[in-house]
Chains A and B, each alone.
Chain A
Amino acid sequence: MLNAQSTKTESWDNLISQKVNSLPPSGIRKFFDLISSVEEVISLGIGEPDFVTPWHIREAATYSLEKGYTMYTSNSGMLELRRELAKYLELHYGLSYHPEHEILITVGVSQGLDLALRAILNAGDEVIIPDPCYVAYSSDIILAGGVPISVPTYKENNFVIKASNIESWITRQTKAILIGYPANPTGAIMPQEELAKIARLAQKYNLLVISDEIYARLVYGVKHTCFASLPGVKEQTILLGGFSKSYAMTGWRIGYVAANLHLIQAMTKIHQYTMLCAPTLAQMAAIEALKNGESEIERMVQEYDRRRRIMGKRLNEIGLSCFEPRGAFYAFPSIEVTGMSSEEFAEKLLLEEKVAVVPGSAFGQCGEGFIRCCYATSLANIEEAMGRMGRFINKYKRV
């Protein structure tokens, strides 16, 4: 047995898996520690709604506890929930998934993504992802034995991933394309024409497409296109969805995967050995959300939209050029005027003006030169933060 006190770091490194050791630490983590040392910070660095879960959903969950719904559910999740989801996908996107064979309830999209990657990847298989993208994509791929291939996206294209760019990165090892739109961190959405081009690419090279649509309901003035609803690609699409963002249910950890029978079977195999089932309480809450949550979504989306417009306008006014984000709840302005790196900018802004933002570099190389500002916070906070940032930019902008 090893004695922890006498063991040197190097021997621990030998005890920890090489794969885990090789993962880069999250760019956000470092910042988290720094922020904890500063008091009275206005945070625009949060990636979740500032609403609590609507009361009727919380109430349904507590009622389910009172009734004693505390047991395991089937591996796939409660059939009633899968039926409600099938109805939901039909209603919103005209998609028809069989509730018994083509839907799996997961512990958030995070688990859904992990299952999807582990179910399809062999060692060395490549998965194409946009850069910048959600922090977990690349690490999840590596943990599943794959190789992430980052395709750059640019502000000039509103951070849309172009099929033409993707094509040049496709090799014989390419297994899948993983996209997440509306996007964290950029707030970008994908125009339907561009998605259709990716769909044709997937057909041409016989690739799977994992589409993370956790922010699907948070779009402003546009209609979300569900990737699986494009002609001819449903069979090769793994649709990931969840309740966290649209119903303000981040802490419940509940999501789902919709895909064809073979993919769902493979994912369920991993799920049954590693998770068994998603928490029953969260599943009960999700049923209520789907049955009666629509007006609450509309209310929250309207509120986000108002804040989005205020933040977008103010960012441009204070000199941080920002394309109009049409989805999720993030703005992704350029900090080029300051000449600072995004990490330096975020750190200085935090220490000098007590405003927290996330450096764009945390989301990939192409995020360098940008910061992520979340507008899921009160209007008063947004106004105050923009005032402080304006002062900061005046001080540091290069002439």
Chain B
Amino acid sequence: MEQIFEILEQNAMATPEQISTMIGMPVNEVERIIKQAEKDGAILKYKTTINWAKVGKEEVWALIEVKVTPQRDVGFDTIAEHIYQFPQVYSAYLVSGTYDLAILVKGKNMQEISSFVTEKLAPLEKVQSTVTHFLLKRYKENGETFQLPKEIERLPITP
């Protein structure tokens, strides 16, 4: 069953028929598992990895370290939820180490990100401090490298 999700994670366009052949499971069974997973939230969404730089759209990204004060009974969850609901926040993680939340923020330009930090994020009561790192270059994301690998030529016919 896990194999179905591995295949879809690699290629969201794989059809139930293809998956069924690949793993030797009846098509209706594959379809049933996928439907169920969509319902349960095991499959959240089918998305496409896009290299926006190639499209020509300019975006600015920043990785922000956030130190927060945990709250009684709920720990970090309430403040994390408060933060990740801002549409600027693309990803949010609770991490171990010198700070608590690592968030990835997307904006049209630096101005947009800095206003988010100064006007929205930093003033929050439970936020003790923030450190903002602007992304300079993307190399690899979600297991995919941004530079298309150079096709390595194999001989067309080998014994």
* A→B interface (CB under 8 Å): 26, 28, 31-32, 35-36, 41, 43, 45-48, 50, 52, 134-136, 184, 302, 305-307, 309-310, 313, 356, 358, 379
Contact = CB atoms under 8 A, between A and B. Distances in A.
A46 B7 contact: no
Contacts of A47: 158-159
Nearest to A43: B156
B154 A310 contact: no
B156 A310 contact: no
Contact of A135 (B152, B156, B159): B159
Contact of A28 (B18, B152, B159): B159
Contact of B156 (A26, A35, A306, A379): A35
B159 A134 contact: yes
B12 interface: no
Contact of A310 (B22, B152, B158): B22
Interface residues of B, number: 14
B158 A48 contact: yes
Nearest to A45: B157
Contacts of A36: 156
Given A52-B152, A306-B23, A309-B24, A358 B157 contact: yes
Contact of A313 (B21, B156, B157, B158): B21
Task: Please name the 8 residue pairs, one residue from A and one from B, whose CB atoms are nearest each other, closest first.
Answer: A306-B22, A45-B157, A47-B158, A43-B156, A135-B159, A32-B157, A35-B156, A309-B21
B44 interface: no
Given A28-B159, A134-B159, A306-B7, A46 B154 contact: yes
**Which of B3, B155, B157 has the most CB atoms of chain A within a 10 A radius of its CB?**
B157
B123 to A, nearest CB: 45
Contacts of B155: 32, 46
Nearest to B149: A52
Nearest to A32: B157
Interface in B7-38: 7, 18, 21-24
Q: Mostly helix, strand, loop or mixed at chain B's interface?
A: loop
Interface of B: 3, 7, 18, 21-24, 152, 154-159
29 contacts: A26-B159, A28-B158, A28-B159, A32-B155, A35-B156, A41-B156, A43-B156, A43-B157, A45-B156, A45-B157, A46-B154, A46-B155, A47-B158, A47-B159, A48-B154, A48-B158, A50-B154, A136-B159, A184-B159, A305-B22, A306-B7, A306-B22, A307-B22, A309-B23, A309-B24, A310-B21, A313-B21, A356-B156, A379-B18
B8 to A, nearest CB: 13
A286 to B, nearest CB: 21
Contact of A46 (B22, B24, B152, B158): B158
Contacts of B7: 306
Contacts of B22: 305-307, 309-310
A57 to B, nearest CB: 15
Nearest to B157: A45
A32 B157 CA distance: 6
Nearest to A42: B156
Contact of B157 (A134, A305, A306, A356): A356
A28 B159 CA distance: 7
A392 to B, nearest CB: 18
Nearest to A302: B3
Contacts of B3: 302
B18 A310 contact: yes
A305 B3 CA distance: 12
Contacts of A313: 21
Contacts of A48: 154, 158
A318 to B, nearest CB: 14
Given A48-B158, A302-B3, 10 more contacts: A28-B158, A28-B159, A35-B156, A41-B156, A43-B156, A45-B156, A48-B154, A136-B159, A309-B22, A310-B22
A26 B158 CA distance: 11
Nearest to A36: B156
A31 B24 CA distance: 35
Nearest to B11: A379
Contacts of B156: 32, 35-36, 41, 43, 45-46, 356
A26 B24 CA distance: 37
A245 to B, nearest CB: 12
Nearest to A48: B158
Contacts of B152: 52
A50 B151 CA distance: 11
A182 to B, nearest CB: 15
Contacts of B154: 43, 46, 48, 50
B157 A35 contact: yes
